[in-house]
Structure 1
Amino acid sequence: MIIEITLLCIAAFLAAFVDSIAGGGGLISLPAFLMTGISPHMALGTNKFSSTCASFTSSIKFAQSGKVDSKILKFLVPFTLAGAVIGTHTMLNINTEYLNTIVVVLLLLVSTYSIFSKNIGMENKFKALKKKSVFWGILLAFSLGFYDGFFGPGTGSFLIFGLIYIFNFDFVRAGGNSKILNFTSNITSLSIFLINGQIDYRLGIPAAISMIIGSRLGASTAILKGSKLIKPIFITISLCLAVKIFYGIIK
């Protein structure tokens, strides 16, 4: 059991480190929880518990560094919350078979666009808040809040890309704002798992501690190294997520 928890903590640390930079940490952490032998629902709930602690930590770090825009988030956070509530309650009533395919296609498109658009996300070109950008931001926040509550994989990557495209942020500022939105949807879904008793604290607490350390270090690295570091990691994680989900479809 000690070896099992140690390996889980290592995976949790790496997952949080990567997730705080470019999203996609669930690619590492969820399989690690499943490998401990707990049920899929318990793995999802325990992973959500640990990852919520991590996203809270990285959110604080980004906010302390001035990489979070409260004037924008005050419009987006309520819609992320609403979307997550609806998405979580809808989760058991819709077949995710077709959603898997859609997510793979979207991740590939996002990755390809980021690869060939050399300047995207490299400089912060946000100037002023406009009604049009607020509208699209609200739509993004609600849609990805719903998606994160309902399904989840790739939420962080989609948020970063969407915020860059809509508000002309660089990867660092998009990452900071995405963490606040991701934390909002995470804690909403976590509440449902808590109510249903789907959290194994024996595994969740040590994993959460490891994730807190990893997320803080990852956020510090992202802020220090900037978009030149984040962009290649963002593209790599997006492609890995697409491959993993596609493998799950054809398996």
Structure 2
Amino acid sequence: MEYILLFFTGICATTLGTLAGGGGLISLPMMLLLGIPVHSAIGANKVSNTVSSFSSFFHLYRKKQLSFKEVYWIIPISIVGGISGGYIASSLSEKNMYVIAIGLLIFAFITSYLGKGNFTGEESLRANKISIPGLYGIGIYDGLFGPGQGTLMLYLFSYLNIAYIRAVGYVRLATFSSCIGAATTYIMNGKIIWPITIALLAGSLTGAQIGVRIAEKLKPRLVKPVLRVVTIALIIQILVNQIM
């Protein structure tokens, strides 16, 4: 029964994560509720995110909705950002990490009303003075804390006037890049409970394919309202975790 529940948890979490980020809102609390040790729960998430993120990206790449030549540089920036965030995390208290997370999410929420981007643009993603520090900073956040990484990245691509379906593909590639190192670390440290991880992974792969197909049909004008709802939910979850 536990494995079936984890399978459907993976579907729901990754469908949401693909569309607007914030899949951890569903998967991590559910695993902790089932009594799974926190490091094993995070490790299961990282492993499943690595595989499911790549599957979403590959689906869009195969359909020629995006070009690898345009986005290959995301990979090293996300990896270095994740490593930097992990290093910084060792010198910060948990309380300060929560403050940073809430501050970034509130900032993203406010700028979503100020910015003109609405995911209808056809700009190409270029390495410039906004995209490089933006992606690197979000990579640091992912390594430092994690929840909301995909949501923050979608806000960045909206500001850069990137079409929604391409933004989804770029976010999934960045998530794959930042998670692969973390997943390897958890595996090498023996933190992975494989039956649980495989059940979540199977659901995540299914959710990734559901999510990317919904994204292909989702009207761009609906994306920002969904992002704002997910952002508020993330802020509430972080505040509740801090209080408890």
With structure 1 as the length reference, what TM-score do the two structures score? 0.88
TM superposition shift of 1:94: 2.3
Deviations 1:206-247 (A, max 9, x none): 110111011111101101224234332222111100111112
Q: What residue identity is the alignment partner of 2:2?
A: E
Choose from 7, 12, 15 the match for 1:14. 12
Match of residue 34 from structure 1: 32
Match runs of 1:139-178 below 5 Å: 139-165=133-159, 167-178=160-171
Q: Secondary structure at the match of 1:135?
A: coil
Match of residue 111 from structure 2: 113
Match of residue 47 from structure 2: 49
TM superposition shift of 1:113: 3.1
Q: What residue identity is the alignment partner of 1:151?
A: F
Looking at structure 2, the residues matched to 156 and 172 of structure 1 have their Cα atoms a distance apart, in angstroms, of: 14
Q: What residue identity is the alignment partner of 2:27?
A: S
1:199 counterpart = 2:217: no
Alignment CA distance shift 1:128-1:81 (3 Å): closer
Looking at structure 2, the residues matched to 205 and 240 of structure 1 have their Cα atoms a distance apart, in angstroms, of: 27
Range moving further from structure 2, 220-229 or 61-70: 61-70
Contact preservation (8 Å) 1:88, 1:189? no
* Aligned residues: CA RMSD: 2.0
Looking at structure 2, the residues matched to 28 and 67 of structure 1 have their Cα atoms a distance apart, in angstroms, of: 28
Contact preservation (8 Å) 1:87, 1:145? yes
Q: Percent identity?
A: 27
Q: What residue identity is the alignment partner of 2:207?
A: G
Contact preservation (8 Å) 1:163, 1:169? yes
Alignment CA distance shift 1:235-1:128 (3 Å): closer
Looking at structure 2, the residues matched to 48 and 22 of structure 1 have their Cα atoms a distance apart, in angstroms, of: 18
Unaligned residue ranges in structure 2 (runs of 5+): none
Unaligned residue ranges in structure 1 (runs of 5+): none
Deviations 1:157-185 (A, max 9, x none): 111111221x3113322222111111100
Alignment CA distance shift 1:171-1:64 (3 Å): same
Paired residues in the alignment total 244
1:248 counterpart = 2:241: yes
Range moving further from structure 2, 229-238 or 203-212: 229-238
